[in-house]
Amino acid sequence: MANSGLRGSYPLTNESIKEYVSRTSAGAYALGYVKDNSFYVGYVGRSDNDVAARLHSHIGRYKRFKYEYYGSAKAAFEKECRIYHDFSPGGNKVHPDRPNGSGWKCPVCNIFQ
């Protein structure tokens, strides 16, 4: 099984997000559940500026989360794309989008070519 390269997993609760996601930063994350000590990715996403705020918006939809900070919105987008392609999460109906006008390309596929 592929490795997401993200920190965690943690319960997807207000308390856990406040405890573990302490910086305001761009970031990528995976949401899912744990079974037999393995984390199963159900959804992947990112925030271009505040990953903790974005995680709060998902409380109640998934049981657990993993995340990582990134130094730029572009780096978070590229990580989101990699996780999306590695895990094909069922909660993502379409390829991760890029910010309007950014011109960024997926590092895995040719969707934005």
Q: Spell out the domain ranges in the chain.
A: 7-87
- The third-level CATH classification (topology) of the domain covering 7-87 is GIY-YIG endonuclease (3.40.1440)
Residues 60-71: tens digit of each pLDDT: 999 999 999 999
pLDDT of residue 110: 81
Residues 84-105: tens digit of each pLDDT: 999 999 999 999 999 999 999 9
User: Tokens at residue 57, please?
Assistant: 């918006």
Residues 5-57: tens digit of each pLDDT: 999 899 999 999 999 999 999 999 999 999 999 999 999 999 999 999 999 99
Euclidean distance between CA atoms 38 and 87, whole angstroms: 13
Is pLDDT at 1 greater than 60 in this prediction? Answer: no
pLDDT band of residue 3 (cuts 50, 70, 90) is confident
Is pLDDT at 2 greater than 90 in this prediction? Answer: no
Is pLDDT at 112 greater than 80 in this prediction? Answer: no
Query: What residues contact residue 107 under an 8 Å CB cut-off, 6+ apart?
Result: 78, 81, 82
> b vs e for 8-44, b when ≥16 Cβ sit within 10 Å of the residue's Cβ?
bbbbbbeebbeebbeeebbbbbbbbeeeeeebbbbbb
